[in-house]
Amino acid sequence: MTAAVPATSARRTGALPVTVAATARALRTVFRSPALLISPLAQSLFFLLIYSGQLSNVGAGYLDGQAFIAFLLPLILLTGVATGAGAAGTLTSNDLTSGYLDRLRMAHGTVTPFLTGTVLATLVAVTVQALLTIGGAMIAGYRPNAWTGTLGMLAVMLILGISVALCSVAVAVRTASSSTAGLVTLGFFGLSFFTGVFAPVNELSGWMRAVATVNPLTYIIEAARQIESGSALTAGPLATIFLTMLVAAGFVACGLALHHARRNR
């Protein structure tokens, strides 16, 4: 009898209003915690200024007229999005350790709408962060070829952000540890530097070129660069495949983590 009450309450309330309320709550938490938003933004702008300031003249020699800051921007956005999206795991871990999610599970029969709200709120914050990064890049000299290309580049990075947020939530649910959830961000951040960071992959040599060739993030960054510049989208097919796989893996990981939590609570 008692087990049926929460499920009935959840059906009566409806998932959409609960998700909207959870998103609003998570947004308030994010914007009241400056470190969750300002730290990734500051990191992105720092790397952008340092790399473009020191290497722009070097990059001009092999980029066929493309501004180095435009070549660099997709990588900067990726690292910022990966760092910012990891906040979803931090928020989830905090709710778990405080017992908040357990109380919601008892009241509504499920925590899925609340985790969905956390992911959505994180993506809103990451979008704001990425737009501010693009604004900072424009102050530093970036000039979009076309705003459609710039927004397309941003969209690619936000899709990647979904996978990072989902994976970090899954790890947080599975381990109830914010430090462990942070490993997801660290993994994506680390992999981003084994791509064509300062030069196209075909300009690399030795083991770095071999690693970059098999790194999925290479094709995501290259597709974003091609979208931004309006050039032929040769990396598009592989980037689409890898993005789809990463997002699907995030959903599967969340499902398995929730199943484990229900079985062991």
Sequential DSSP letters for the chain: -TTHHHHHHHHHH-HHHHHHHHHHHHHHHHHH-HHHHHHHHHHHHHHHHHHHHHHHHHHTTTSTT--HHHHHHHHHHHHHHHHHHTHHHHHHHHHHHTTHHHHHHHHHS-SHHHHHHHHHHHHHHHHHHHHHHHHHHHHTT---S-HHHHHHHHHHHHHHHHHHHHHHHHHHHHH--HHHHHHHHHHHHHHHTTS-SSS-GGG--HHHHHHHHH-HHHHHHHHHHHHHHT---TTHHHHHHHHHHHHHHHHHHHHHHHHHHHHH-
Q: Among residues of the chain, what percentage have pLDDT more than 90?
A: 35
Are the C-beta atoms of residues 133 and 46 closer than 8 Å to each other? Answer: no
Report d(CA 211, CA 195) in Å as an integer.
8
Question: Which residue in this structure is represented by tokens 């990966």?
Answer: 82
How high is the pLDDT of residue 6?
A: 43
Are the C-beta atoms of residues 146 and 154 closer than 8 Å to each other? Answer: no
Reference 37, options 99, 123, 117, 104; nearest CA is: 123
Question: Average pLDDT, stretch 144-155?
Answer: 92
Q: Quick one: how far is CA 141 from the chain centroid?
A: 25
Are the C-beta atoms of residues 164 and 185 closer than 8 Å to each other? Answer: yes
Question: Average pLDDT, stretch 83-106?
Answer: 81
Question: Which residue in this structure is represented by tokens 């992911």?
Answer: 119
Q: Among residues of the chain, what percentage have pLDDT more than 70?
A: 89
Lowest mean pLDDT among 6-10, 90-94, 112-116: 6-10
pLDDT-based confidence at residue 168 (cuts at 50, 70, 90):
very high
pLDDT-based confidence at residue 73 (cuts at 50, 70, 90):
very high
To the nearest whole number, what is the mean pLDDT of the chain? 84
98-112, 166-180, 236-250 — most confident range: 236-250
What are the structure tokens assigned to 55, written together? Answer: 């290497």
pLDDT-based confidence at residue 153 (cuts at 50, 70, 90):
very high
Length of the chain: 265
Lowest mean pLDDT among 23-37, 222-236, 241-255: 23-37
pTM for this predicted structure? 0.86
- Asked if residue 54 has pLDDT above 90, the reply is no
